[in-house]
Amino acid sequence: MTQLPDNITLIEDQLRALQRTRAVYSLVSILVIALTIFTGVSVANNYNAGSFANGIDNFFDYPFDLISEAWDAGWRWFPLIIDYTPDLLNTLNMAVFSTGLGFIFALILSFFAAKNTAPNERVRQIVRRFLDLCRSFPELVIAMIFLYIMGKSLLPAILAITIHSTGSLGKLFSEAIENADKKPVEGLQSLGANWFIRVRHGVLTQVLPIILSYTLLRVEINVRASTILGFVGAGGIGEALSTNIQWRYGDEVVAIMVMLVATIICLDYLSQYIRGKMIGGQTATSGHDRFALRINFMKRFRQ
């Protein structure tokens, strides 16, 4: 074995020490998780009327009942999808609208939360803590509080999703901004551009694709969230689902579930498509497009 120079041996030792620490940490966390699951299951076993082992046998009874009921409904099942479309649209509306609001708030706040664009450190800390606060409560908790105060309607759910989205998008946006290249900003600063112009052209142009991609992901998450909020009385398809589960209308439950799954799959594809388009735009237009653009431009310039 070759003898390494002292400084490299030192780095090697440090690396190995780091790897050891990491291995120990992983092992400990796996043990803790395993222990938690094990004790959780046994505690639940002790408290429940039936044991976990018995319960698992009944696990497939319910879906089986649902499907058989839907099968029995026959052709009557398909119009149910049309019946519940308005509810689905309500839920989608709620999700898209509140993501939009959250996007606007997050975009504004993130420039005050990022190191390279915040006017000063105190503002940055205040905004960061505010964003932490916004995302520290799950949508469900915020929605339940607002539902209690304002009564049953779409508004509490919209507020809840908006607040949570602002918090989580704001954090992601501010990190994207902090990672932006500072050279364009410095270039604009050197020619006397004010803060707004530096942020608008120097920073926003760089982070826009990633920001939009985060937002699309958030739309998907919020469709799920607004469905769940329906269960606590925020309206939309979630409420319909919860009512039908309680009334044990198997055919209707199946119809709603099929609609939800289809919607989420569609959204997945749609956002993937849009993201693909945006990332395609990041590497500039293709050679062919650029050529066409140039020809067009030359024509206009000559006129």
Partner 1 sequence: MLDIRNVTKRFGDVVAVRDVSFSIKKPQMVGIIGRSGAGKSTLLRVINRLERATSGEVFFSGNDVLSLEGRAKSEWQKNCAMIFQQFNLVPRLDVLTNVILGRSFEHSFIRSMLKLYPAEERYQALATLDRFGLAEIALQRAESLSGGQQQRVAICRAMMQTPKLILADEPIASLDPLNARLAMEALKRIQVEEKITVICNLHTLDTAKHYCSRIIGMQNGDIVFDGTPKSLTDKKAREIYGAEADEAFEASVTSTALGSAPIKAAS
Single out the residue of 197, 142, 194 nearest to residue 166, CA to CA: 142
- Angle CA 91–96–97, to nearest 5: 100
Question: Contact region for partner 1 (CB under 8 A) — 103-111, 126-134, 154-162, 182-190?
Answer: 182-190
Helices (H), ranges, the chain: 6-47, 52-58, 61-73, 77-113, 121-136, 139-150, 154-178, 183-190, 195-197, 205-229, 237-247, 250-282, 287-302
CA distance 82 to 45: 42
**184 belongs to the binding site for partner 1 (CB under 8 A):** yes
**275 belongs to the binding site for partner 1 (CB under 8 A):** no
Question: Contact region for partner 1 (CB under 8 A) — 15-23, 88-96, 119-127, 181-189?
Answer: 181-189
Residue 90 and residue 263 in contact, taking contact as beta carbons nearer than 8 Å? no
Nearer to partner 1, 31 or 197 (CB): 197
Q: Which of 75, 288, 301, 303 binds partner 1 (CB under 8 A)?
A: 301
Stretch 280-299 residues interacting with partner 1 (CB under 8 A)? 282, 284, 290, 293-294, 297-298
The residue whose two tokens read 């999703």 is 161
How far apart are CB 199 and partner 1 at their closest, in Å? 10
Question: Contact region for partner 1 (CB under 8 A) — 6-14, 64-72, 133-141, 203-211?
Answer: 203-211
- Give the list of residues 6+ apart from residue 147 with CB closer than 8 angstroms, or none: 156, 157, 232, 233, 234
Nearer to partner 1, 1 or 284 (CB): 284
Q: Which of 110, 162, 174, 206 binds partner 1 (CB under 8 A)?
A: 206
Q: Which of 7, 60, 183, 299 binds partner 1 (CB under 8 A)?
A: 183
Question: Contact region for partner 1 (CB under 8 A) — 86-94, 138-146, 155-163, 198-206?
Answer: 198-206
Give burial (CB, 10 Å; 0-12/13-18/19+) of 103: buried
How far apart are CB 113 and partner 1 at their closest, in Å? 20
CA distance 53 to 135: 37
- Give the list of residues 6+ apart from residue 77 with CB closer than 8 angstroms, or none: 70, 251, 254, 255
**205 belongs to the binding site for partner 1 (CB under 8 A):** yes
How far apart are CB 172 and partner 1 at their closest, in Å? 19
Binding site for partner 1 (CB under 8 A): 181, 183-184, 186-194, 196-197, 200-202, 205-206, 208, 282, 284, 290, 293-294, 297-298, 301
